[in-house]
Structure 1
Amino acid sequence: MRILDGLDSASGPTAIALGNFDGIHLGHQQVIAPVQAVRHPHPDWTPSVVTFNPHPQAFFSGNYLPSLTPTAEKAELLAGLGIEQLILLPFTRELANLTPEQFVADVLVAQLQARQISVGQDFRFGRGRSGSAQDLQAIAQRQGIPTTIVPLLKHRDLRISSSAIRKALDQGQPDLAAAWLGRPYRLAGCVVPGQQLGRQLGTPTANLQIPADKLLPRWGVYAGRAHLPEQGFRDLPAVLNIGQRPSLNGDRTISVEVHLLDWQGDCYGQLLQIDLQSFLRPEQKFDTLTALTQQIQQDCRTARSHLTAQPSSFA
């Protein structure tokens, strides 16, 4: 997978899925599907995803939200879908001022040598978001480029979208987010030394260094399934705490801590991945370490019960 911060070194001709693609959810996967296997009939075409950096909404508002899938995670997911290059198109004032016709001619045709395009039904582009998916299809057709418009995807009569997944995670509904993503929501990071207070309380935890631009869900305690790729362990039952640890932490920094229920060992410096499955309870402050210890033990029992009753349905 090639990750490009511009157009200069893009491999062409290209088959392009065009959009923002934060999350690579089920709707995004349908937009990507038409370009996944173009190498078979067209061996010289490069299946590509073109997205914008920063997100146009963030560019105009100045509010840069953390991502469901930061760039490295997005690239890994796209590679698994058969995409060979991810092009992060710098969203600048100059790009924002291009008319729809100029965007197609100057970017998609002249620089990316597009031979096929796929977009979602709600895609907007060009100056003032004046161009629709239908406009793109018509303009591209005049250039001889077939364009697929993918209808919006719904689940339980709700449109699947990045914003809906964000809302579900903010409300402590990782199961709903997983249904829309097509996989559990994953937090991953290097295990770094912590205060080791969990070990003193009888529940040693791995402290994860999560990328700064990764969206954290609602603070609290979760049941999840952990993976240690370097040691070959998968689907380890785990309890995860996200928040400021109000009973123990004086500096109020946000931490992500994982207690592995059926594993002991040293994983410092290694990658640990945790797939969220169930929200157990909000974060709360305990007056004594005894009360905290009792609650942690109860969290472990509850998590084990949840994970036993709901085996992982995702590969």
Structure 2
Amino acid sequence: MFNPFYFCKNLILKVYNSISAFHSLTKTVITLGTFDGVHVGHQSIIEKLKACSFGCNYESVVLTFFPHPRMVLQQDVSIQLLNTIDEKALLLDRFGVDNLIVHPFDEAFSNLSAEEFVRQILVDKLNVYKIIIGYDHRFGKNRTADINDLVLFGKKYGFEVEQIGAHEIDEIAISSTKIRSALSDGNITLANQFLGYAYFISGEVIEGKKIGRTIGFPTANIQISEDYKLLPKKGVYVVAAKIKSTLFFGMMNIGTNPTVGINEQSIEVHFFDFNSDIYKERLEISILEYVRGEQKFESLELLQQQLEKDKVFSLEFIRSNESNFI
């Protein structure tokens, strides 16, 4: 089974920060899109990409854009995404893609005509042999071209086009919506089912208020620098992370610490059987199960008592699901 905790720090995947930075002496098999979440629907497309590129000994390429087009064209700064760019690279590497191009999306790029995009980008820059694309994909200035135009361009410029069918595209859209909804509701089990792996957050361990250690629950405070990263519902979760090549389990609180009156949102993880200095370490925290919602307690003593109950619940969950973490 795919173990979500064993991400490779030294990526085999090659990541490029613009289309112009990419060069390939061989032909390429390409798919493009936001691939937010890289969930089970996206993974089926990636399998098609890999099968085709492997079969003809060509390079596989995922082309995506950042900022998200809606951030640029609709000025939607409130958009929340399932993955940061680094997280997306970790996932695509784990799923065996050769190359990821993260191209800056701006007004100039959006103004390319459909044929300019095909000729200048797909053909001249990416050396395309085949593109795998959704039946409803629209491209070019004002999104005027569709899959039929792309097929015609393929005949003109000598590349193949494989359509991803309506049913598969609809499943992808439904999955993305359900994942976001499930995370907002704290339904981690459902979210992870649609993702095909444990939802995770990435961030640096920073100095905190150190209140947890006074009640026997020292925590690692995680700072996420990307404000567009979607966080699950406030509350307590069972989590896991690989620290210095060892897998540790723990419980995480996302919230504002109402019991101590801090009122600033924080992400704090208490790892079981762990006592090392990890300040400034960057961790991927995999979220395994929802424990309870955020609560305000009348005293630190009552908070400590609840944390002991949370720990019992967490350890029982880990023990019951141990076979999934091999």
Q: TM-score, normalised by structure 2?
A: 0.85
Alignment of 1:1-315 (within 5 A): 1-12=13-24, 13-37=27-51, 40-43=54-57, 45-64=58-77, 65-151=79-165, 152-153=167-168, 160-213=174-227, 214-228=229-243, 230=244, 232-234=245-247, 236-250=248-262, 252-311=263-322, 313=324
Moved more, 25-34 or 304-313: 304-313
Distance in 1 between residues matched to 2:150 and 2:191, nearest whole Å = 30
Give the Å deviation of 1:42: 4.1
Corresponding residue SS for 1:294: helix
Whole-angstrom CA distance in 2 between matches of 1:216 and 1:141:
44
Task: Tell me the secondary structure at the aligned position of residue 51 of structure 1.
Answer: strand
Q: RMSD over aligned Cα, in angstroms?
A: 2.5
Cα offset for 1:240? Answer: 0.7
Task: Report the residue type matching 1:96 in the other structure.
Answer: S
TM-score normalised by structure 1 residue count: 0.88
Q: Summarize deviations over 1:49-96 as a string: whole Å, max 9, x none.
A: 111222222212212324322111111221222322211222222322
Query: Displacement, 1:140?
Result: 2.1
Partner secondary structure for residue 124 of structure 1: coil
Q: Secondary structure at the match of 1:87?
A: strand
Task: State how far apart, in whole Å, the 2-side matches of 1:78 and 1:180 are.
Answer: 16
For residues 312 and 154 of structure 1, what CA distance do their matches in structure 2 show? 33
> How far apart are 1:175 and its partner, in Å?
1.2
Partner of 2:8: none
- Aligned residue for 1:79, secondary structure, equals helix
The residue identity in structure 1 corresponding to 2:105 is F
Q: Which amino acid aligns with 1:48?
A: V
TM superposition shift of 1:303:
1.9
Greater CA deviation, 213-222 or 196-205?
213-222
Q: Secondary structure at the match of 1:247?
A: helix
Partner of 2:4: none
Per-residue CA deviation, residues 89-128 of structure 1 (Å, 9 max, x unaligned), is 2222232233333322222112222111112344332233
Paired residues in the alignment total 309
Which piece of structure 1 moves more, 146-155 or 55-64?
Answer: 146-155
Change in Cα spacing, 1:159 to 1:107, as seen in structure 2 (3 Å) is closer
Aligned mates of 1:312, 1:122 — CA distance in 2: 41
- Greater helix fraction, Structure 1 or Structure 2: 2
Amino acid at match of 1:301: V
Runs of at least 5 residues in structure 1 that lack an aligned partner in the other structure: none
Tell me, yes or no, if the aligned pair for 1:27 and 1:160 is still in contact at 8 Å: no
Change (3 A) 1:300 1:314: closer
Identity %: 35
| Alignment-mate amino acid for residue 124 of structure 1 | R
